[in-house]
Structure 1
Amino acid sequence: MKAPRALGPAAAAALVFCAGIGMAHAGSAAEARPETMAMLKHAIGIHTVQGEHQVPVLAAYLADKLKAAGFPAGDVEIIPVGETAALVARYRGTGEGRPILLSGHMDVVAAKRADWTRDPFTLIEENGYLYGRGTADMKTAVVVLVETLIRLKREGFKPRHDLILLLSGDEETTMASTRELAKRYHDAEFLLNADAGGGTLNPDTGKPALYQIQAAEKTYADFRIGLTSAGGHSSEPNNDNAIYRLARIIDRVAGYQFPPLSNEITLASLRALGAHTPGPLGAAMTRFAARPDDAAAAATISADPAYVGQIRTTCVATMLNGGHALNALPQSASVNINCRIFPGTPVDSVRDTLVKVINDQSATVTVLPPPPVESPASPLRQDVIAAVTAAVHARFPGVEVVPGMSAGASDSMYFRNAGVPSYGIDAAFTKPDDTFAHGLNEKLPASEVEAGLEFWHRVLVQLAK
Structure 2
Amino acid sequence: MIRKLLLATTLCCCATAPGMTAQERAPHELEAREIYSDIVSIRSARGQEKMPEMVDYLVAVLKEAGFEEDDFEITDYDNKGEATQGLIVWYRAENPSEDPIVLLAHMDVVDALAEDWVRPPFELIEEEGYFFGRGTADNKYGVTQLVSTFIRLKEEGFEPTRDLVMVLSGDEETGMVSTRGQAKYVDEVVKPAFVLNADAGGLALGDDGEPLYYGVQGAEKTYATFELTVTNPGGHSSTPRKDNAIYELADALKAIQAYEFPVMSSELTRASLRSSGRQRLDGLGKAMRDFADDPTDEDAIAVLRANPATVGTIGTTCVATMLRGGHAENALPQSATATVNCRIFPGVGIEATEETLKQVVANEDVKFKLISDLVESPESVLREDVMAALETALAARGADVPILPHMSSGGTDGMHYRNLGYDTVGISGAAAKQNDTFAHGLNERLPVKSFYDGLDHFYIVIKELASPEA
- TM-score (normalizing by structure 2): 0.89
Match of residue 9 from structure 2: 20
Match of residue 193 from structure 1: 197
Contact 1:323-1:332 at 8 Å conserved across structures: yes
Which of 309, 312, 316 in structure 1 is aligned with 2:319? 316
| Alignment-mate amino acid for residue 412 of structure 1 | G
| Alignment-mate amino acid for residue 188 of structure 1 | P
Match of residue 402 from structure 1: 404
Match of residue 3 from structure 2: none
Residue 176 of structure 1, CA deviation:
1.5
Residues in 1 aligned to 2:67 and 2:8: alpha-carbon distance in whole angstroms? 28
Match of residue 71 from structure 2: 75
Gaps of 5+ in 1: 1-16
Residues in 2 aligned to 1:223 and 1:165: alpha-carbon distance in whole angstroms? 33
Contact 1:208-1:396 at 8 Å conserved across structures: no
Match of residue 457 from structure 1: 459
Match of residue 42 from structure 1: 38
- 1:156-204 CA distances to partner (integer Å, 9 max, x unpaired)? 333232110001111122222111111101222111111111011101x
| Alignment-mate amino acid for residue 34 of structure 1 | L
| Alignment-mate amino acid for residue 84 of structure 1 | T
Residues in 2 aligned to 1:31 and 1:127: alpha-carbon distance in whole angstroms? 21
Match of residue 353 from structure 2: 350
Residue 224 of structure 1, CA deviation:
1.6
Match of residue 440 from structure 1: 442
Match of residue 126 from structure 1: 127
Residue 144 of structure 1, CA deviation:
2.0
Match of residue 169 from structure 1: 170
- 1:322-350 CA distances to partner (integer Å, 9 max, x unpaired)? 33333333332232211111122211010
Match of residue 86 from structure 1: 86
Residue 30 of structure 1, CA deviation:
7.4
- 1:18-63 CA distances to partner (integer Å, 9 max, x unpaired)? 9932525652567512222222222222222222222211211211
| Alignment-mate amino acid for residue 323 of structure 1 | G
Single out whichever of 89-98 and 452-461 deviates more from structure 2.
89-98
Match of residue 6 from structure 1: none
Residues in 2 aligned to 1:18 and 1:387: alpha-carbon distance in whole angstroms? 31
Answering whether residue 253 of structure 2 is matched by residue 250 of structure 1, we say yes
What does residue range 186-225 of structure 1 map to in structure 2 within 5 Å? 186=187, 187-203=191-207, 205-225=208-228
Contact 1:387-1:462 at 8 Å conserved across structures: yes
Match of residue 381 from structure 1: 383
SS of residue matched to 1:98: coil
Residues in 1 aligned to 2:130 and 2:161: alpha-carbon distance in whole angstroms? 37
Which of 61, 68, 86 in structure 2 is aligned with 1:65? 61
| Alignment-mate amino acid for residue 308 of structure 1 | V
Answering whether residue 161 of structure 2 is matched by residue 160 of structure 1, we say yes
Match of residue 54 from structure 1: 50
Match of residue 431 from structure 1: 433
| Alignment-mate amino acid for residue 135 of structure 1 | T
Single out whichever of 381-390 and 348-357 deviates more from structure 2.
381-390
Residues in 1 aligned to 2:127 and 2:20: alpha-carbon distance in whole angstroms? 12
C-alpha RMSD of matched pairs (Å): 2.1
Single out whichever of 307-316 and 449-458 deviates more from structure 2.
449-458
Taking a change above 3 Å as real, the CA distance of residues 110 and 334 of structure 1, as seen in their structure-2 partners, is closer
Taking a change above 3 Å as real, the CA distance of residues 30 and 315 of structure 1, as seen in their structure-2 partners, is farther
Contact 1:60-1:78 at 8 Å conserved across structures: no
Taking a change above 3 Å as real, the CA distance of residues 71 and 227 of structure 1, as seen in their structure-2 partners, is same
Match of residue 95 from structure 1: 96
- 1:245-300 CA distances to partner (integer Å, 9 max, x unpaired)? 22222222111100111112211110122112333221111011112222332122
Match of residue 13 from structure 1: none
Match of residue 370 from structure 2: 367
Match of residue 234 from structure 1: 237
| Alignment-mate amino acid for residue 198 of structure 2 | A
Residues in 2 aligned to 1:227 and 1:126: alpha-carbon distance in whole angstroms? 48
Contact 2:211-2:399 at 8 Å conserved across structures: no
Residues in 2 aligned to 1:240 and 1:137: alpha-carbon distance in whole angstroms? 43
- TM-score (normalizing by structure 1): 0.90
| Alignment-mate amino acid for residue 41 of structure 1 | S
- 1:212-235 CA distances to partner (integer Å, 9 max, x unpaired)? 001111111111222222333333
Q: Percent identity?
A: 47
Residues in 1 aligned to 2:335 and 2:296: alpha-carbon distance in whole angstroms? 42
- 1:363-382 CA distances to partner (integer Å, 9 max, x unpaired)? 222211x3221122112222
Contact 1:373-1:417 at 8 Å conserved across structures: yes
Residues in 2 aligned to 1:323 and 1:213: alpha-carbon distance in whole angstroms? 45
Taking a change above 3 Å as real, the CA distance of residues 453 and 279 of structure 1, as seen in their structure-2 partners, is closer
SS of residue matched to 2:406: strand
Contact 2:112-2:121 at 8 Å conserved across structures: yes
Contact 2:256-2:361 at 8 Å conserved across structures: yes
Taking a change above 3 Å as real, the CA distance of residues 323 and 61 of structure 1, as seen in their structure-2 partners, is closer
Match of residue 9 from structure 1: none
Residues in 2 aligned to 1:128 and 1:148: alpha-carbon distance in whole angstroms? 24
